[in-house]
Homo-oligomer: A and B are copies of this chain.
Amino acid sequence: MNNYSDKGISRAIIKRLPRYYRYLGELIDQGVEHISSSNLAHLMGVTASQIRQDLNNFGGFGQQGYGYNVKNLYDEIGKILHIDRVHKIVVVGAGNLGHALGGYQNFVNRGFDIVAFFDKDPEKIGTEIAGKPVYPMEDLVDFINSNQIEIVALTIPKEGARIVADMIKETYVKGILNFAHTDLNVPKRITVENVHISDYIMRLCYTMHS
């Protein structure tokens, strides 16, 4: 359970935290140790008061005349997002999108580790993606339970995604990152985050024209 979850932090703020985390990570890479709310605001294209309001929810890490300690703030947001420890992921679908996920750098640093891929294609089974094995679908449920896999990423078409969602609903899995062009029907204890790429394109198209 999260320390912050019962403090009434709004969903809107939580949605913004990954963006803060990303900017702070870049500042760390650049060797920046402290930053004022106004400089951070300028960088992120938001107002300083928005930043102060958001970050005050977590105890106000800023100090007058000194700004935020970048590393502390980064770590603190990491804790809030629960990415201060590594979560094991398997990717179902060893196609282009699966390969793309496998190629993401810094995943382990950010609290995520893709440990295996699964596919039904005999030609893919036994190969490796980014150094990680591709196993057959039949082994998925056992693998999840014996390796305490918390997250499954689904990079397969919708019909397969529904079948896999059904297969894993009684396993150790707590979250699904769903790239399939469909919504999934799973028990409430499993969280689904949808990445419906065609929905984003449609929204882009609407916004472009309005």
Residues in chain A within 8 A of chain B (CB atoms): 1-2, 5, 14-15, 17-19, 21-22, 44-45, 80-83, 87, 95-97, 99-101, 103-104, 107, 110-112, 150-151, 155, 174-177, 181-183, 191, 193, 195-210
Interface core residue of A80, A176, A198 (most chain B CB under 10 Å): A198
Tell me the nearest residue of chain B to A157, going by C-beta.
B105
Q: Which residue of B lies closest to A210 (CB)?
A: B5
Q: Are A199 and B96 closer than 8 Å at their CB atoms?
A: no
Contact A22 B206 (CB under 8 A): no
B-side contacts of A209, CB under 8 Å: 1-2, 5, 82
A186 nearest CB across to chain B (Å): 11
Q: How many copies does the complex hold?
A: 2
Partner of A193, one of B97, B155, B201: B201
A206–B17 touching, CB < 8 Å: yes
Give the Cβ gap from A131 to chain B, nearest Cβ, in Å: 15
Given contacts A18-B196, A193-B207, contact A202 B81 (CB under 8 A): yes
A138: shortest Cβ distance to chain B, in Å? Answer: 25
Seed contacts A18-B199, A19-B196, A96-B100; 7 additional CB < 8 Å A-B pairs: A2-B209, A22-B181, A100-B100, A101-B197, A110-B198, A191-B204, A193-B200
The 4 closest A-B pairs by CB, nearest first: A18-B199, A96-B100, A193-B204, A96-B99
**What are 23 pairs between A and B in contact, CB < 8 Å?**
A2-B206, A2-B210, A5-B209, A14-B206, A18-B196, A19-B196, A19-B199, A22-B196, A22-B198, A87-B205, A95-B100, A95-B103, A96-B99, A104-B197, A110-B198, A111-B202, A174-B208, A175-B207, A177-B201, A191-B207, A191-B208, A195-B195, A195-B197
By the criterion CB–CB under 8 Å, are B18 and A183 in contact?
no
Q: Given A96-B100, A100-B95, A175-B208, answer yes or no on A203-B22 (Cβ-Cβ < 8 Å).
A: no
